[in-house]
Amino acid sequence: MKDPGLEATGGWVLGSETWANKIIKKWIDFSSNEITGIKPLRVRIPVNRYEQLVCKEFEISKQDLKKLTYNNISRMSVIYLAYNYCGLTLRVIGQRYGGISDSAVNKVVSRFRTRLSKDKKLNAKIIKIVSSGEM
């Protein structure tokens, strides 16, 4: 039996797919200042979708995403996206992108955030990828 917690982001909606989609649509934009701890639901984007978009944007093959070079910007991009938008754990991301440790993944994400704040072209690419992934 599949563990429903493996795909949970920000909470669980259990029931049939039709019912769950109805609830998600109802609550996707919900926010309330009156109830503490309530956060809007975010739809999780599959990591495969971001891999495709990164490959297209950086004009590389999927194999290039796993190359263990220090300054592989496409690999850093997909690790950043997987961490921030796909709900994957540091461990799962590390295993997927070269068998690196949790702390190494965390460092990649941190370095990439710093780079995004300084590199307008890279930031524009990531914004384009994120907006394309949500479609």
Task: Confirm if 49 and 18 have CB atoms less than 8 A apart.
Answer: no
CATH of the domain at 83: 1.10.1750.10
Q: Above 70 in pLDDT, residue 116? A: yes
Q: Above 90 in pLDDT, residue 133? A: no
The arithmetic mean of pLDDT across residues 59-74, rounded, is: 85
Question: What per-residue confidence (pLDDT) applies to 98?
Answer: 85
Question: What per-residue confidence (pLDDT) applies to 63?
Answer: 86
More confident residue, 43 or 123: 123
Nearest to 82 by CA among 108, 117, 114, 116: 108
Q: Above 60 in pLDDT, residue 6? A: no
Decide if 4 is inside a domain: no
Question: What per-residue confidence (pLDDT) applies to 42?
Answer: 57
Residue 38 shares a structural domain with residue 58: no
CB atoms within 10 A of CB 34: 5
Residue 25 shares a structural domain with residue 76: no
Q: What's the predicted TM-score (pTM) here?
A: 0.69
